[in-house]
Amino acid sequence: MKTVALITSAAVAAMMTVPAMAEDHQVQMLNKDSEGRPMQFEPAFLKIAPGDTVTFVPTDKGHNSESVIIPEEAEAWKGKISQEITVTFDEEGFYAYKCLPHVAMGMVGLIQVGDDPEPLDDAAVQKLPGKAKTRMAELIAEADAKTTE
């Protein structure tokens, strides 16, 4: 009986120390999104937990994903054209990213890691080219709306 109790106690203790499983999210790199907008990431805005990963999938060829504005302690990334890349997001904050060949056409995205991140550096957002700046403003508004829900 003591053996069963000991094994049960050990199993319960082991389960309590296992961290929650990180999720993998997928972002498609597209010539046209489901709303008909050209050169887009879909979804363009994600809210994820620290430790989650995002896989950027080149559904349509000729795209990449690379970081533009990230938290100070975070690690930058730069995917190759037409190549899948998986990025792990450990630091809380906002991560703005772009498709290098199509950033001028507004192909940018935003990832919110955690529930209460610091706002994006507005000066850095203002340096994005025209359509990218406009699209990023839309994504920031979407993030703000989801934070207040």
CB 45 within 8 A of CB 112: yes
d(CA 9, CA 46): 39
25 is in an annotated binding site: no
63 is in an annotated binding site: yes
According to DSSP, the residues that pair with 42 across neighbouring strands are 28
Give the largest Cα separation in the chain, rounded.
Answer: 72
How is residue 72 annotated by DSSP?
T
136 is in an annotated binding site: no
107 is in an annotated binding site: yes
Provide the annotated binding site: 63, 99, 102, 107
Provide the annotated binding site for Cu cation: 63, 99, 102, 107
